[in-house]
Amino acid sequence: MSDKKIILFGASELGKKALIYFNKENVAFFCDNDINKIGIKINDIECIGFNKLLEIHKNYKIIITSMYEKEISEQLEKNNINYGIYKESIEIYYPIEDLLEINLGHFFYKCDFNIKLDKLTFFQGGSTILDYAFLQAIAKKFKRKKYLEIGSFMGESIKCLSVVCDECVSISLEDQELDQFFFSKHKSNFGSYFMNNICNVKQIKGDSKKINFKEISFEPDFVFIDGDHSYEGVFNDTQKIFDLIDYNETIVVWHDFRKAITKEIRTETVKAVFDALDEKYKKNIFISDNNLCGIYVPEKYLKYFSFNINSNEMYSYEFEMHKVIKNLI
């Protein structure tokens, strides 16, 4: 954690237990929405209200210590306040603010090859161009051969990887599950469209929560998790993948570590990942500074990533659009 002192948001029993966990000398204040607690001292720590928190939050680390975690999370996010979450049952601190950022521009800058991304629609619900480029660059740089993807949507990302990896496996919902989504966008169902008929792509249809990954008989060295974005979905997919992989070798990327428009950290995704993983994996989880991805990097590959964000540097990218293709069902 950083050197900032802590404000514990939630001044009930869970907050008192968190006070012991974090040590009293590291805690500046309690905060609570209960007006009856504002201004009093709890275990010798002053309790402030939310209005005071708004004035001073930039100088402190905010940690939610309340059973009303969801409501407080929304309250903080609405005011663009970073926070962590304390869980009594497993005593996990979710280091939302402390996640190290990978310098994406520097990573691309050090790649001695070109990236070619073919047939991207940029349709709502898909990934960004820097997400696709990041995936293909990882596969090329680290010579990934076996790629597993959870949540392929129209198949654009796995198509980008199929030209680099020898074997690709997609675990996705049945295409008809996307009927309502495409209907709401006034489109026919283009589910799986771009990965159909690719010879090195195997499609497994179904809900990843109901699939036993070990029965697939596939040991990936690269995984992209972009399926069910609920807490339960991310938790399930993360836990199953780390039960399957060689964590000393396999690189895992999650989509939606950030929100698409604001680029703020999507706390529910990060929380699910940290809940699902053993402690030994957590120090190797990072977030990209300029796309929507989080990543697990095995120890031996850390030297290829930069975590220094230089304010005097700006990386630019050169793209060519060769042609627009009309795709029909």
CATH number, position 195: 3.40.50.150
Given a contact cutoff of 8 angstroms between Cβ atoms, the answer to whether 165 and 222 are in contact is yes
Residue 164: inside a domain, yes or no? yes
86 and 176 housed in the same domain:
no
112 and 165 housed in the same domain:
yes
> Which strand (E) or helix (H) includes residue 21?
helix 13-22
Q: How confident is the model at residue 97 (pLDDT cuts 50, 70, 90)?
A: low
CATH code: domain of residue 28: 3.40.50.720
Residue 10: inside a domain, yes or no? yes
87 and 158 housed in the same domain:
no
Q: How confident is the model at residue 94 (pLDDT cuts 50, 70, 90)?
A: low
141 and 283 housed in the same domain:
yes
CA distance 249 to 283: 15
Residue 2 predicted with pLDDT over 70? no
pLDDT digits (tens, 9 = 90+) for 154-203: 999 999 999 999 999 999 999 999 898 898 889 999 999 999 999 999 99
Residue 328: inside a domain, yes or no? no
- For 42, half-sphere exposure in the C-beta direction (CA atoms, 13 angstrom radius) is 26
What integer is the mean pLDDT of 301-307?
Answer: 96
36 and 150 housed in the same domain:
no
Q: How confident is the model at residue 264 (pLDDT cuts 50, 70, 90)?
A: confident
Instruction: Identify which of 230, 233, 60 has the alpha carbon closest to the alpha carbon of residue 46.
Output: 60
167 and 36 housed in the same domain:
no
pLDDT digits (tens, 9 = 90+) for 24-83: 999 999 999 999 899 999 999 999 999 999 999 999 999 999 888 889 999 999 999 999
pLDDT reported for residue 55: 96
What integer is the mean pLDDT of 121-135?
Answer: 93
Mean of per-residue pLDDT scores for the chain: 91
123 and 75 housed in the same domain:
no
What proportion of the chain, given as a percentage, has pLDDT over 70?
96
> Which strand (E) or helix (H) includes residue 240?
helix 231-244
Give the range of the structural domain holding residue 238, as residue numbers without chain letter. Answer: 101-304
pLDDT digits (tens, 9 = 90+) for 195-224: 999 999 999 999 999 999 988 889 999 999
pLDDT reported for residue 39: 95
Contacts of 300 (CB under 8 A, 6+ apart): 248
33 and 114 housed in the same domain:
no
Residue 24: inside a domain, yes or no? yes
157 and 242 housed in the same domain:
yes
Domain count, the chain: 2
241 and 121 housed in the same domain:
yes
pLDDT reported for residue 1: 45
89 and 108 housed in the same domain:
no
What separation in angstroms does the CA of 17 have from each of 21, 43, 49, 151? 6, 11, 20, 39
Q: Which of 76, 93, 110 is the last residue of a domain?
A: 93
252 and 151 housed in the same domain:
yes
pLDDT reported for residue 99: 84
pLDDT reported for residue 96: 62
